Amino acid sequence: MSNHYLVVGGSHGIGLEITRKLIQQGHRVTVFSRTADGLVDLSGVEHHVLDISKEEISPELIPAELHGLVYCPGSINLRAFSSLSPSAFRDDLEINLIGAVKSIQAGLKALKKTPGSSIVLFSTVAVGQGMPFHSSVAASKGAVEGLTRSLAAELAPGIRVNCIAPSLTDTPLAARLLSSEEKREAAANRHPLKKVGTANELAALATFLLSTDAAWITGQVIHADGGMSSVRV
């Protein structure tokens, strides 16, 4: 059966891989993102140019019925706490939390029309693991984890809400952190599985959480982080 999904930030990185997988599974996908570069060769995608951190979502852009919504935009603003202004914290909150809130509120009516619909959000391993220079992103993503659990309770049983908390993943957003073989090797070695995550791996988890195979999973923050959050080797 062909379902309809909304992927915010679905033209690059993890979001693009989620879009590809959903299309490969025969579903329809609406994408909101600032650019459409990665979508050129994909059929079955309806794209709307939107900067979620600065713009509101017009109701007419939302499909009448939605089987799932994924919010993918994020930030990696790694700086010393002493050099971060309050506005930098607000910027991270805007893209990581407020953008998710706007997207869910815009899509909620359509999601409620579809029994068993699903919302997938993204956090970071840095929320549960104290890491230097991560104060701003960890604070905003921590709010996303709180939102996940609150909405899972409020929207049950009709809508499931889950969150994925990755470690460093090989995407355009993380390119400067993986810009040399030395950086890539050092990043891999910080993980028990000795590798950096891929967008495909995260997309596989996200599409599972969207599917009916995950029908008994809600309110969870699932760590896909190469073992970093729970294993010491």
Question: How many C-beta atoms lie closer than 10 Å to residue 158's C-beta?
Answer: 12
Please identify every stretch of the chain with a pLDDT value under 50, giving residue numbers as ranges: none
What are the residues whose beta carbons fall under 8 Å from the beta carbon of 68, sequence distance 6 or more?
3, 5, 6, 111, 117, 118, 119, 120, 210
Q: What is the rounded CA–CA span in Å between residue 129 and residue 3? A: 36
Q: What is the rounded CA–CA span in Å between residue 157 and residue 160? A: 7
pLDDT at 148: 99
pLDDT at 189: 80
What are the residues whose beta carbons fall under 8 Å from the beta carbon of 202, sequence distance 6 or more?
14, 17, 164, 166, 169, 224
Longest dimension (CA), the chain: 52
pLDDT at 174: 65
pLDDT at 175: 66
Domain boundaries, the chain: 4-224
Angle at which helix 199-210 crosses helix 13-24, to 10 degrees, equals 50
Number of H helices, E strands in the chain: 6, 9
- Say if residues 163 and 148 touch (Cβ distance below 8 Å): yes
pLDDT at 22: 97
Fold for 4-224, please state it.
Rossmann fold (3.40.50)
What are the residues whose beta carbons fall under 8 Å from the beta carbon of 11, sequence distance 6 or more?
19, 31, 33, 34, 35, 36, 37, 38, 39, 47
Predicted model pTM:
0.93
